[in-house]
C-alpha cells in the first residue's frame, strides 16, 4: 500500500506526512484494498473543501472530509450493513483491468484541517460528534474515515455505520472491549 500526502501551504502540521500515510494505509488495508494499492490524501482548509463540497456533493459550506473513490464498492470485500445492490456491480469491478504489474489507485481523500481543529476544540469531534480531544486525534479519525469511504464503506445504514465505527475504533485503538 502507498499513500501520497499533500499538505497545502498554511495548513497547520498536526501530524507528519509519514503518520498520515501510515494511518491511511492501515485503513485501506483493513478494508480489503488490493495489495499495492495507492491513495492520495490532501490536507487543506475550509475554502478548498467548501468548493469541492459544493461542486461534487451539492452542499454549501465546508465539511471535514471528502472521499473520491475510483472503484465501485463491489471491488472490495463485503461488510455488515452494506447495501446489497452495491454488490451487484461485480461486473464493473471485474471490467476494471490494469496492465500487468501496475497497482490500482483507489482515489483521493481531502480533509479540512480547519474543521478538524474546530471540531476537536468545540467538543464536536470523534465518531459521535460529541468528543473534545486533541486536533491530531480528530485528524487521525478523519483520515481513517476517509480511507474507509474509498473502500466502499458508508454510514447511511445503521448496521453499516456501527460496523464502520467499530472498525475505526479498532484501527485507532479506541475500542475498549
Total residue count of the chain as it appears in this document: 177
99 CB-near residues (< 8 Å, 6+ apart): none
pLDDT band, residue 177 (cuts 50/70/90): very low
CATH number of the CATH domain containing 76: 3.40.390.30
In percent, the amount of the chain with pLDDT more than 70 equals 91
Residue range 139-164: average pLDDT?
A: 95
- pTM assigned to the model: 0.91
Q: Are 8 and 44 in contact (CB under 8 A)?
A: yes
User: Which domain, by its residues, includes 152?
Assistant: 2-172
The answer to whether residue 112 sits within a structural domain is yes
Instruction: Provide the domain count of the chain.
Output: 1
CA distances from 174 to 90, 127, 137 (A): 33, 10, 11
The answer to whether residue 72 sits within a structural domain is yes
The answer to whether residue 133 sits within a structural domain is yes
The answer to whether residue 177 sits within a structural domain is no
pLDDT tens string 78-87: 899 988 877 6
Amino acid at each position: 500500500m502507498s499513500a501520497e500526502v499533500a499538505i497545502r501551504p498554511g495548513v497547520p502540521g498536526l501530524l507528519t506526512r509519514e503518520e498520515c500515510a501510515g494511518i491511511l494505509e492501515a485503513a485501506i488495508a483493513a478494508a480489503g484494498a488490493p495489495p499495492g494499492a495507492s491513495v492520495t490524501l490532501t490536507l487543506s482548509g475550509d475554502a478548498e473543501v467548501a468548493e469541492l463540497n459544493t461542486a461534487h456533493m451539492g452542499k454549501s459550506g465546508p465539511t471535514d472530509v471528502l472521499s473520491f473513490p475510483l472503484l465501485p464498492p463491489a471491488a472490495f470485500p463485503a461488510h455488515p450493513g452494506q447495501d446489497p445492490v452495491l454488490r451487484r456491480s461485480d461486473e464493473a469491478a471485474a471490467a476494471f483491468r490494469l496492465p500487468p504489474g501496475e497497482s490500482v489507485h483507489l482515489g483521493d481523500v481531502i480533509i479540512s484541517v480547519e474543521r478538524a481543529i474546530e471540531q476537536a476544540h468545540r467538543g464536536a469531534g470523534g465518531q459521535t460528534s460529541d468528543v473534545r480531544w486533541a486536533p491530531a486525534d480528530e485528524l487521525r479519525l478523519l483520515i481513517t474515515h476517509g480511507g474507509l469511504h474509498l473502500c466502499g464503506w458508508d454510514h447511511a445504514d445503521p448496521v453499516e455505520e456501527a460496523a464502520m465505527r467499530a472498525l475505526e475504533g479498532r484501527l485507532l485503538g479506541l475500542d475498549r472491549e
